[in-house]
Chain A
Amino acid sequence: MSDTNLIKKYLRPFYRRTSKRMFKFLKLDELMDMLLQINHRAFTIEEELQKLKKIQAATNLILSGQDSYQNELYRKYEIAPLEIFDLSTAIAGESKSEIDIINFIDRTGLDFANKTVTIIGGNSDLYAHILQKKGAKKIHRIESNPQISKDIEENNVSFIYPLNLGKASREHCDILLIPSASWTTLLSSRSFAGFGSFVKESIILQSRVNSQTSYSSSLEPAIFDDDGRLSLNDNYLRRQLHLSGFVEVECIYTEGVYIDNYFDLKVTKFNQLNGFTIIKKNRRPTKDQLLKIKDSTEKIYIGRKLPSKKYLS
């Protein structure tokens, strides 16, 4: 037998068997897979980093007033609108028609006579004027100040950078009014800047919520609507209100297309051991094909410090 044949017959199978065992023993395949995965993740992180840098740059431009959220560029990044829209809106100040402002106060149905009221946002003196006409004893307004480092106090109006509100000194009041959906979005994830402990009777707020969440909704904070804005889930907003010291929460009015106010009947109640429970349910929704998961609408919520007499346990 020649040398070549000898190798073919004995050495090659031995080599194959040994190398196979060696590969198995050293787990080379698994290590290779892991290396590939690490490599892939490094790429993903790099991509995310680039995206975040762009968002940061966009945010800087918006906050410095050199650009606005309306720029189509920012809508291309899914994460970019996260709070930027609301922060820039709160800073720039939302403008509402006088009729809308009057309707907002009327729809709450509350008695403001002899009450102390704090208004956060709204960007209009008309709220205070209406409340004064309704007999409010004392009104304090808080509006946004684009400068982080400097708070201004002027004629019973405090100008504070929105995200610094939790650090500012708070006054006790009977009713807290947040008529701007953007302020609500910013404050709801920040425990309403600790105002819950300082409100004696109720909080009234306007909030941008998912149209369909009046029937069932997640405790997850938000979805994005078709315009790329944050739109809160009904249950999330309720939980935030309950955890901020409001034992009973109800939605009192809905605005927007395809919404039937008839369905806004849901009232929730809080206790510290079981969280919050629904004590009054909404009616079954009609199957409206026009209502999309990404439709958002503005609703008025009332959180009460004490349970209403009709909902005692």
Chain B
Amino acid sequence: MKTTFLFYGFGAEYVLHSLYEELLKRGEACIEIDALTTLDSRRLIKRLTAKPVVLLTSAHLLLDRKSFTDFYPTKSKFYSVLEIISLIKPLKTFFFPHDLTEPLIEYEEKYLNQLDLFLSPGEPFTTIFSQYVMTEEVGWIKYKKNNSRPKKPNRSKQKNAIWFLSDFIIYINMGKVAAYEFLSPILSQGISMKLPLWESSEEFEKYFIEKGVKMYPARENAIELIQNHDITITNGLSSIIAESYYLGKTTVNIKERSHYGNKLSHLENQFPDLIFYENIVDFTLSEVPKKMRKPTLKPFDMKKTIELITKL
């Protein structure tokens, strides 16, 4: 019986689409499930019981329907990764982190030994997690080789900056008009913006464009945008912090209205050159120092990854 490759994830935390497409091109049997957009993914998964399946996931291991719906109500019915492993007993399970700043969240480390391979974006994770599970370094999945060549560096004195807005739910609740008013002290300095892919992002984009802000579509590749700007602005905890930092760019983090949980000190230790601003009004683009470092982020090695996951 032919092996089925099951790609599984949740909304914006699903980062395996390019890999799914590549395996399809090679004639493999693949199923792609975004647990949030598929109304009843349980039915699809139950059908895979007793079949040879290779599971590839970028989802949090313990995130089950109960814990998810308590915070984000959804009608979708789905299983957690651990439940899928218990149910279909895959031949192999591969895990790709979807967040470079925090590849694993609290308690997940203890379940790493349920995986067969942790596909690591790079150090220090390759070594740290190898205590619990086999690890292989394949680069950062959102960093494609074809976007590893940035546009010509900006030689003009004027710095160009982009803000990758996180904690978007706060601004959705605020409404687009109030959100613009709140963010305008930074946006009025000629700074462009990219919103996360969310239900309301298009509506916000339109309104911000009307207000004269240069907006990049939410679907656009973040790595390319980081490479083409001098300064990356972030807020709260997001993968963009690590992506920009490891690409050697000046990275700023705005603390106002941001949620860090208990991870702020972790952020300060992991990224010592990260520039923090307490309030939006404190930020002045001309005063942000340029801190160029050698880029250390490696592009995703598709060939190596395909070899690893098809080697059974």
**Partner-B contacts on A (CB < 8 A):** 172, 196-200, 243-245, 247, 270-274, 277, 305-309, 312-313
Contact = CB atoms under 8 A, between A and B. Distances in A.
Contact of B71 (A244, A270, A273, A312): A273
A270 B112 CA distance: 16
Nearest to B46: A312
Interface stretch (B5-13, B79-87, B141-149, B288-296): B79-87
Nearest to B71: A273
B110 A196 contact: yes
Contacts of B112: 197
A312 B79 contact: yes
A243 B60 CA distance: 16
B62 A270 contact: yes
B201 interface: no
22 contacts: A197-B109, A197-B112, A198-B132, A245-B111, A271-B64, A271-B66, A271-B67, A271-B80, A272-B106, A272-B107, A272-B108, A273-B63, A273-B67, A305-B114, A306-B114, A308-B86, A309-B87, A312-B79, A312-B83, A313-B65, A313-B79, A313-B83
Contacts, number: 70
Given A243-B107, A245-B110, A197 B67 contact: no
Given A272-B106, A273-B70, A312-B87, A200 B64 contact: no
Interface residues of B, number: 29
Contact of A245 (B83, B85, B87, B107): B107
Given A244-B110, A271-B67, A307-B82, 19 more contacts: A196-B110, A197-B110, A197-B112, A200-B114, A247-B62, A272-B60, A272-B105, A272-B107, A273-B67, A273-B70, A273-B71, A274-B66, A305-B113, A306-B86, A307-B86, A309-B86, A312-B79, A313-B66, A313-B83
A155 to B, nearest CB: 26
Contacts of B113: 172, 197-200, 305
Nearest to B86: A306
Contacts of A197: 109-110, 112-113, 131-132
B103 to A, nearest CB: 15
Nearest to B132: A197
Interface of A is mostly: loop
Interface string B74-99: 00000110110111000000000000
A199, A245, A270 — most chain B CB neighbours (10 Å): A245
Interface of B: 60, 62-68, 70-71, 79-80, 82-83, 85-87, 105-114, 131-132
The 10 closest A-B pairs by CB, nearest first: A245-B110, A271-B67, A273-B67, A306-B86, A313-B64, A272-B62, A272-B107, A197-B110, A313-B65, A196-B110
Contacts of A277: 66
Contacts of A309: 86-87
B110 A274 contact: no
B200 to A, nearest CB: 24
Nearest to A191: B110
Given A312-B79, A312-B86, A312-B87, A305 B111 contact: yes
Nearest to A172: B113
A183 to B, nearest CB: 20
Contacts of B70: 273-274
A244 B87 CA distance: 22
Contacts of A196: 110
Contacts of B109: 197
Nearest to B108: A272
A216 to B, nearest CB: 22
A196 B108 CA distance: 11
Contact of A307 (B68, B83, B131, B132): B83
A243 B106 CA distance: 10
B40 to A, nearest CB: 13
Nearest to A242: B107
A272 B67 contact: yes
Nearest to B113: A200
A270 B107 CA distance: 10
B46 to A, nearest CB: 10
B117 to A, nearest CB: 15
Contacts of B106: 272
B188 to A, nearest CB: 38
Contacts of B65: 313
B3 to A, nearest CB: 21
